Amino acid sequence: MQSVVLKGTQAGYELIIKENASIREILVDLKQLLDGLSEKNSNSDETLQLNVQMGNRIMSQDDKNDIIKLVNEHDNLSVGSFLSNVITKEESKKIMAERNVEVMSRVIRNGQEVNVDGDVLFFGKIHEGGKLFATGNIFNMGTIEGIVQAGFPDNENKLIIGNLHTAQQVRVGEQYDIVDDKPIEDSAKTVIYVNDLHVLSYGKINNLKEINPKFFNRIGGIE
């Protein structure tokens, strides 16, 4: 049985890798398959993108690089992405971290920068010049006079909820506002989010279902 099989899908083509095959077997069979595919595609000006389906195996970056190199040696062929049914320990730790909510009551002073994986429930104080960056959402129950960013560094699907009217700057993903230039209402029910036009917007927690239905359902609604 071949260690690599080509399969056509609605999204293009997939290279199905046999899970228990060695990388040596894979490269030998892959070269033979690519030689034929490249010849069939020789009259086309378009590059054929191949996604590599690894099934229930984890492939090292070196092995992936060997496959990419071999594919790139053939005209009009390239690797799109590597797909797997399993994840590494590092990836699983990252997912678990982003599902947790870290409760924080510390003071962040001028010049200090605090980075958090996942959501933050903040009860502390951020002085002017202090920074709090979270990969997830930020729920503020404290006092913020510095800079806060949800969705760090570039995830625009996250939210900042709470009273931010004393903040220096608020950011969600890559979008930001300087509060002095655009004052925020003095309200603990403020929701800061990125709208469909990729612009930072301000709403009320009562409208959370319309602002971010996925997040609303995740927390089970608002009483």
- Distance of alpha carbon 122 from alpha carbon 138, whole angstroms: 7
Burial pattern 168-198, b for ≥16 Cβ within 10 A else e, equals bbbbbbebebebeeeebeeeeebbbbbeeee
DSSP string, 81-133: EEE-SS--HHHHHHHHHHHSEEEE--EE-TT-EEEESSEEEE-SEE-TT-EEE
Asked if 193 and 155 touch (Cβ cutoff 8 Å), the reply is no
> What is the pLDDT of the chain when averaged over all its residues?
86
The Cβ of residue 43 has, within 10 Å, a number of other Cβ atoms equal to: 7
Residue 174's pLDDT is: 94
pLDDT in tens, 50-101: 888 888 788 888 999 999 999 999 888 888 888 876 656 665 555 555 567 8
Interhelix angle 61-72/23-40, nearest 10 degrees: 20
Torsion angle in degrees (nearest 10) through CA of 136, 138, 139, 143: 160
Asked if 18 and 1 touch (Cβ cutoff 8 Å), the reply is yes
Asked if 144 and 152 touch (Cβ cutoff 8 Å), the reply is no
| CATH code of the domain made up of 99-218 | 2.160.20.70
Classify residue 196 by its DSSP letter: T
pLDDT over threshold 80, residue 210: yes
Q: Which among 141, 129, 122 is positioned nearest to 189, based on CA atoms?
A: 141
User: Which of 16-30, 76-90, 106-120, 201-215 has the largest mean confidence?
Assistant: 106-120
pLDDT over threshold 60, residue 222: no
Asked if 15 and 46 touch (Cβ cutoff 8 Å), the reply is no
The residue ranges of every structural domain in the chain are 4-83, 99-218
Show the beta-strand stretches assigned E in the chain.
4-9, 12-17, 48-53, 77-83, 101-104, 107-108, 113-116, 119-122, 125-126, 131-134, 138-140, 143-144, 147-150, 160-162, 169-172, 175-178, 190-194, 200-204
pLDDT over threshold 70, residue 187: yes
pLDDT in tens, 147-165: 999 999 999 999 999 999 9
pLDDT in tens, 7-50: 887 667 888 998 888 999 999 999 998 888 887 777 777 788 88
Residue 223's pLDDT is: 46
The Cβ of residue 83 has, within 10 Å, a number of other Cβ atoms equal to: 14
More confident residue, 99 or 125: 125
- Distance of alpha carbon 148 from alpha carbon 96, whole angstroms: 22
Percent of the chain's residues with pLDDT above 70: 88
What is the spatial order of strands in the sheet that 107-108 belongs to? 107-108, 125-126, 143-144
